[in-house]
A and B are shown apart, each in its own frame.
Chain A
Amino acid sequence: MIVAYEKCLHCGCCVGTCKQNAIYLNDYILQFNDLCNRCGRCVKVCPVGALTLEVK
């Protein structure tokens, strides 16, 4: 996952939406773990468009 930190507002919207529990927001830093299945839900619901799936 590519995080545009200049856009991210640390709101946790992506974290709560992820079915895989693959995102952890430690105050200001988003961490993604291996459970991510690239479903794209977090990318869609981010209110400010801070997330992009890496091209594989």
Chain B
Amino acid sequence: MQKLQCDVVVVGAGPGGSMAAKYAAEGGLSVLLLEKKAEIGAPLRCAEGVSKKWLKEMGIEPDPKWISADMDGAIIVSPSGHRFKLDESHAGNEVGYVLERHLFDKALAEMAAVAGATIMMRTSCTGVIKEDGKLVGVYANRMGEPLEIRAKCVVAADGFESQVSRWAGLDTSIDLKDMDSCLQYRMANIDVEPNYCEFVLGSAAPGGYLWIFPKGNGRANVGIGVQGTKCKRGADAKYYLDKFVNEDPRLKDGQILEIVAGGVSTCPGLDDTVLDNFLAVGDAARLIDPITGGGIAHACQSGMYAGQVLVDCAKEGDFSKAALQVYDTMWRDSMEDKLVRNWIAKEKFATLDDKILDDVVLAINDSDIKEVNVYNLLKVIKDKYPDLMSEMEDLF
């Protein structure tokens, strides 16, 4: 078995892993970035919507190469078809660009490469190495060749599967109510509004929502998330998405260019994201926003924090859980409040029936709220249906 040695081994070259690798390598650490697939960014597992704000915060310069379309706002569609249009200034921070992630993910991995990280493609992590209870690296397989990789710290950035953390000793399993089973068609030759992301609520997507994210020139990502507890037979996501595509006249001449499947967690992050010589970032740490399903920004941010903290730990030569705790605190300070609030809100939304959702969408139309965000939506529901919200008083 071939043996390799490095300061940090990062498993998974998605946005989280690439950012962790970039910041660790920039700080002078030797970094191996393992990716099991044959191409970074493909097959796609994403609807590609991101807000503009965080890109700036991360210091990532928007590049037309990986931006498909620039959004002006969002449209919320109620179960009976009421359309509520929000322009960007009213849509909270959720609207921005629709990316081309095939290229975006490669651009981030390139940043890691430029910073000095070594990228190993088609290299699948198969387990962790523990010696006397201490985590000292990972096993991997590179196109049939078994590898033993020893590192001072292992970074789990393996996305929704989140297996590396489990091997290391963290419980990353999620309740069915806290995950969505997703399917998406990248469609061409369709007639949708080019600069508005559309969200369809109600029983057309049990416990989740349907989306249409335009990608310019009659193309869009048309997809669905169905809450795990509402999946009854297998292929529920496909059943509801096909039904929607067949029934919407704007999509009837459309053709599918790509089929995308995936899982999205809708829980508020792991209780623990660090162990001795180990940390988890992005989807692997369950950092997706439970309401929007957006996880690219959080993956990048948590990856950046991880890389920065690893550089500090290297200076002290201390990768213990106590030393890595700084990373855990950093991501919690920046995103945990919102994750928890949106998790509670998601539980509420998932119980609302079509009639109530219709009323709510109509009510926001009539209301004078300045910005439509989760908090304000809940306020509208509270005004109209105080009983429904009684157990959620602490949110206000």
Contacts and interface: CB of A to CB of B under 8 A. Distances in A.
B160 A44 contact: no
Nearest to B162: A16
A16 B173 CA distance: 7
Contact of A27 (B37, B235, B262): B37
Interface residues of A, number: 26
Interface string B236-265: 111000000000000000000001111101
Interface in B105-140: 122, 124, 126
B179 A44 contact: no
A11 B232 CA distance: 19
Nearest to A14: B263
Contacts of A13: 160, 181-182, 261-263
Contacts of A24: 126, 163
B150 interface: no
B161 interface: yes
A12 B161 contact: yes
B235 A25 contact: no
A19 B172 CA distance: 9
B38 A16 contact: no
Nearest to A9: B261
Interface in B148-179: 159-163, 166-167, 172-174, 176, 179
Interface residues on B, range: 35 or more
A21 B163 contact: yes
A49 B238 contact: yes
Contacts of A49: 233-235, 238
Given A17-B179, A27-B37, A48 B261 contact: yes
Contact of A10 (B43, B183, B232, B236): B43
B228 A27 contact: no
A49 B261 CA distance: 11
A30 to B, nearest CB: 11
B231 interface: yes
Most chain B CB within 10 A, of A19, A47, A50, is at: A47
Contacts of B182: 13, 47
Most chain B CB within 10 A, of A15, A18, A26, A45, is at: A45
B232 A44 contact: yes
A47 B162 CA distance: 18
Nearest to A25: B161
A51 B173 contact: no
Interface in B214-232: 228, 231-232
A25 B125 CA distance: 10
Nearest to B234: A49
A25 B38 CA distance: 14
Contacts of B38: 27
